[in-house]
Amino acid sequence: MTGPFLVAHRTDTASRARSSVAAGARYLEVDVRLVAGQAVVTHFRPVAWAGGRWERDNARVRRRRTPSPDLPVAELLDAAGTAAVLFDPKDRDPTARVRLVAALAGLVPDPAAHVVSTRDPVDLARFADAGFRTWRTLDTARQVIAAGRAPLAADGVTVRHRALTGNSVRALHVVTDTVVGWTVNSAVRARELVAMGVDGITTDRVTTVADVL
């Protein structure tokens, strides 16, 4: 496979991690939180008004359980094999966010083999200090323009793909070598991003996008 590398989105089970790597993903993207002191892969967050008894992931709601039913990060790393993991930290509690840095660093022999992406510059700095590579998350065209005009305090950027144009990709490449577009599930859009010169594409459909690279 040539062209941009692939990031498999929401690899929240060991089987999905393995199949994504087999299909050509170089990175496995996961949301991570600390639950009862353990780093787990989860898109569920506590429902604030429910006193911690319920969790939700968009329209899905479930009762909080201990131990967590979610995939431990340690098991994800085993399933990842040679692929790198792109961690997206989701803890909202400030103390938990600090503790998550130490928890993830303690699970990987070489933090620099993996990446953390977030919008929060303080969190990015903490993970960078722990040895992880970091990508700054950008959502809008305005954020993309601003990022291309100043030194970037991260190793790369991961950008909502609709905010990217050929000109903005070129501008971002002035400040970083790594520009990733997310989340791309259309072969047509993947081809457009390849033509723009992105370095990576995040997708739920690794096989579909891999076929156009």
By C-alpha distance, which of 66, 124, 87, 99 is closest to 11?
Answer: 87
Q: Tokens standing for 78?
A: 């085993």
Q: Stretch 185-197: mean pLDDT, rounded?
A: 97
Is pLDDT above 60 for 1? no
Summarize pLDDT for 40-99 with one digit per residue, the tens: 999 766 756 666 676 666 667 656 677 677 999 999 999 999 999 999 999 988 999 999
Kindly give the pairing relationship between strand 38-41 and strand 27-35: antiparallel
Is pLDDT above 60 for 139? yes
Q: Given this model, what pLDDT does residue 165 score?
A: 98
Q: How confident is the model at residue 38 (pLDDT cuts 50, 70, 90)?
A: very high
**pTM for the full model?**
0.92
Which helix (H) or strand (E) covers residue 17, if one does?
Answer: helix 14-23
Q: Given this model, what pLDDT does residue 137 score?
A: 98
Domains held by the chain: number? 1
By C-alpha distance, which of 6, 2, 1 is closest to 200?
Answer: 6
Range of the domain at 176: 5-210
Kindly give the pairing relationship between strand 38-41 and strand 115-118: unpaired
What CATH number does the domain containing 121 carry? Answer: 3.20.20.190
Q: Given this model, what pLDDT does residue 173 score?
A: 98
Q: Stretch 164-171: mean pLDDT, rounded?
A: 98
By C-alpha distance, which of 149, 165, 155 is closest to 198?
Answer: 165
